[in-house]
């Protein structure tokens, strides 16, 4: 499959008290359409990923709102929700729309406004993506659910907290070099170890901040982008989705592995590539432990070894595969609905060669994004390729 990425656009990831959700939506949408060189009336459908607007903003049908304010009317618009995998789902639906032949050009966006409410309120709203009435009734929160997984990983593979702390060090190294990131400071293993406990053994520097952000892409039929050779020839070449358990209690390490591994297998087949072909990857890591797990699922490392690349350099910018050169969710934050699209936009920048110096991997041609959602419920794998010879 080939879906053309005609244009991309994104807002900074940070607390933005002067921007409402609709401001973020309009900003990102205009940037993407301007980058694509398309007028609003050329967009034939609009998929907006947003997971928490009813809780955070007391607004519901925000895709309809976005369509109005972006001037997309009368094209159809819909809000997409799949917990933390929301943005990736919006991208998936955009691809499906193009591949079905029903649409030539669509706008795909993720947008989330999380900071109008206090953290304790936000935590309760985020918990609605899990079974807030039953399992989370026991006082669990998302960090605490993942903390249980982290402890299992350490027990099964005999790893220490220090071993895993390297993941945060790597992410923060690149976050500090990403002007669009929420957190822009480097840190040492020692600082990670000394950071405040959030949900033992997860520490502050191993969890992501709540952020406000929006990111968007204009997707098109392959031929439309081919016919504009002066534009960067970046295509989505695989889109593969899956689901898993909605309960942290039943989320074993094997489940966590399979959640991403199964759709990743299909994605490699769709794109006609293997793990060693991937230059850059954005792997969902709202909590640091999810990066090693994702690295293992995507076949970049053996089970139990996914953490090592942050220590030995193999997942750094010049390593075998540059993982989360954007700073990951640890530094960009996790704007629920916009995370999946943020991964996509950042990878497209890598393939175009337009990422900021310091995080731009040399000659990146193939990128892969792995987005997950809920306790262990959503998996979304995408492959992006710059196709040589047509540039």
Partner 1 sequence: MTVSAIEFSRLGPPKLVLYAMRCRTCKTLHPWWERYTCGVCGSRDLVEEKVEGTGELVNYTVVYYPPRDFLGQEPYVVGHIELDEGVLVPAPVVGIAPDDVEVGSRVRSTLRRMKLGHEGDIYYSQKFVLDDDPPKRRRSPAQAAKKTPAKAAATRRSSPRPRRGSAR
Residue 39: count other Cβ atoms within 10 Å of its Cβ: 10
Scan for tokens 């990403």, then name that residue: 178
Residue 56 contacts partner 1 per CB under 8 A? yes
Nearest distance in Å: CB 60, partner 1: 11
Closer CB to partner 1, 20 or 195, in the complex: 20
Which strand (E) or helix (H) includes residue 81?
none
Active site residue 95: no
Residue 354 beta carbon to partner 1: minimum distance, rounded to whole angstroms: 24
Dihedral angle over CA of 13, 339, 8, 72, nearest 10? -100
Active-site entry in 53, 57, 84, 331: 84
Span interacting with partner 1, options 116-124, 177-185, 274-282, 379-387, rule CB under 8 A: 116-124
By the rule CB under 8 A, 71 interacts with partner 1: yes
Tokens of residue 288, six digits: 């640091």
Q: Which of 42, 96, 104, 116 binds partner 1 (CB under 8 A)?
A: 116
E-strand ranges in the chain read 3-10, 45-49, 77-80, 105-112, 197-199, 202-203, 213-221, 234-243, 280-283, 322-323, 366-373, 378-386
- Least Å distance, CB 322 to partner 1, is 37
- List, in order, residues 6 or more apart from 325 with CB less than 8 Å away: 174, 280, 317, 346, 350, 355, 359, 360, 361
Residues 74-113 that bind partner 1 (CB under 8 A): none
Q: Is 191 exposed, middle or buried (0-12, 13-18, 19+ CB in 10 A)?
A: middle
Query: From the CB of 210, what's the least distance to partner 1, in Å?
Result: 13
Interacting span for partner 1 (CB under 8 A) from 13-21, 142-150, 307-315, 379-387: 13-21
Does the protein bind partner 1 through residue 363 (CB under 8 A)? no
122 is an interface residue for partner 1 by CB under 8 A: no
Cβ 111 to partner 1 shortest distance, Å: 14
CB of 29 to partner 1, least distance (A): 9
SS3 call for 353: coil
362 part of the interface to partner 1, by CB under 8 A: no
Interface pick for partner 1 out of 31, 45, 48, 57 (rule CB under 8 A): 57
- The yes-or-no answer on residue 334 being catalytic is yes
- Closest to partner 1 by CB, 58 vs 138, is 58
How far apart CA 281 and CA 326 sit, in angstroms, is 10
Task: Give CA–CA dist 125/374, Å, rounded.
Answer: 13
Regarding 20 and contact with partner 1 (CB under 8 A), the answer is yes
Counting DSSP H helices and E strands in the chain, the numbers are 14, 12
Residue 220 Cα distances to 103, 215, 224, 339, angstroms: 8, 17, 6, 21
Query: Is residue 117 involved in binding partner 1 (CB under 8 A)?
Result: yes
Distance CA 299, CA 40 (A): 40
Among residues 37, 68, 194, 390, the one that binds partner 1 under rule CB under 8 A: 68
Annotate 218-285 with DSSP letters as a single string.
EEEEHHHHHT-TTS--EEEEEEEEEE--S-GGG--HHHHHHHHHHHHHHHHHHHT--GGG--EEEE--
Site string for partner 1, 26-55 (x = CB under 8 A): x---x--------xxx--------------
Q: How far is the CB of 18 from partner 1 (least distance, A)?
A: 6
Single out the segment in contact with partner 1 by CB under 8 A; choices: 65-73, 129-137, 186-194, 306-314: 65-73
Q: Kindly determine how many residues on this chain lie close enough to bind partner 1 according to the rule CB under 8 A.
A: 21
Residue 154 CB-density burial (10 A; 0-12 exposed, 13-18 middle, 19+ buried): middle
Q: Does 115 bind partner 1 (CB under 8 A)?
A: yes
Tokens describing residue 93? 């639906």
Cα 163 off chain centre by: 24
Smallest separation (angstroms) from partner 1 to the CB of 67:
10
Contact range with partner 1 by CB under 8 A, out of 63-71, 88-96, 309-317, 381-389 = 63-71
Q: Using CA atoms, how far apart are residues 335 and 134, in angstroms rounded to an integer?
A: 25
Decide: is 120 part of the binding site for partner 1 (CB under 8 A).
Answer: no
The residues that are catalytic are 84, 334
Residues that bind partner 1 (CB under 8 A): 17-18, 20, 22, 26, 30, 39-41, 56-58, 68-71, 73, 115-118
């Amino acid at each position: 499959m080939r879906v053309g990425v005609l244009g991309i656009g994104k807002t900074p990831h940070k607390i933005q008290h002067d921007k409402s959700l609709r401001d973020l939506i309009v900003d990102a949408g205009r940037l993407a359409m301007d980058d694509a060189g398309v007028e609003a009336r050329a967009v034939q459908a609009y998929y907006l990923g947003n997971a928490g607007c009813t809780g955070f903003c007391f607004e519901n049908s925000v895709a309809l709102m976005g369509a109005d304010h972006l001037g997309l009317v009368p094209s159809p618009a819909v809000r997409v929700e799949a917990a933390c995998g929301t943005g990736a789902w919006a991208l998936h639906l955009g691809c499906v729309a193009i591949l079905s032949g029903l649409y030539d050009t669509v706008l795909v966006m993720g947008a989330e406004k999380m900071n109008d409410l206090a953290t304790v309120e936000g935590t309760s709203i985020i918990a609605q993506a899990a079974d807030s009435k039953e399992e989370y009734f026991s006082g669990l929160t998302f960090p605490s659910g993942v903390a249980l997984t982290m402890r299992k990983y350490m027990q099964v593979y005999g790893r220490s907290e220090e071993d895993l702390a390297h993941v945060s060090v790597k992410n923060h190294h690149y976050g500090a070099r990403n002007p669009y990131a929420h957190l822009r400071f480097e840190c040492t293993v020692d600082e990670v170890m000394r950071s405040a406990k959030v949900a033992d053994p997860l520490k502050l520097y191993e969890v992501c901040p709540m952020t406000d952000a929006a990111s968007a892409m204009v997707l098109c039929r392959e031929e439309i982008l081919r016919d504009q050779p002066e534009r960067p020839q970046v295509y989505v070449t695989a889109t593969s989705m899956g689901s898993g358990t909605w309960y942290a209690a039943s989320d074993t390490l094997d489940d966590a592995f399979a959640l991403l591994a199964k759709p990743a297998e299909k994605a490699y087949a769709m794109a006609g590539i293997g793990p060693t072909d991937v230059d850059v990857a954005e792997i969902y890591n709202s909590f640091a432990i999810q990066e090693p797990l994702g690295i293992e699922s995507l076949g970049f490392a053996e089970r139990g070894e996914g953490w090592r690349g942050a220590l030995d350099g193999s997942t750094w910018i010049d390593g075998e595969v540059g993982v989360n050169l954007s700073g990951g969710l640890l530094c960009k934050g996790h704007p629920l609905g916009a995370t999946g699209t943020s991964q996509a936009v950042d990878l497209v920048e890598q393939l175009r060669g337009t990422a900021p110096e310091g995080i731009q991997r040399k000659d990146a041609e193939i990128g892969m994004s792995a987005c997950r959602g809920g306790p262990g419920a959503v998996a979304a794998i995408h492959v992006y390729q710059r196709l040589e010879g047509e540039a």
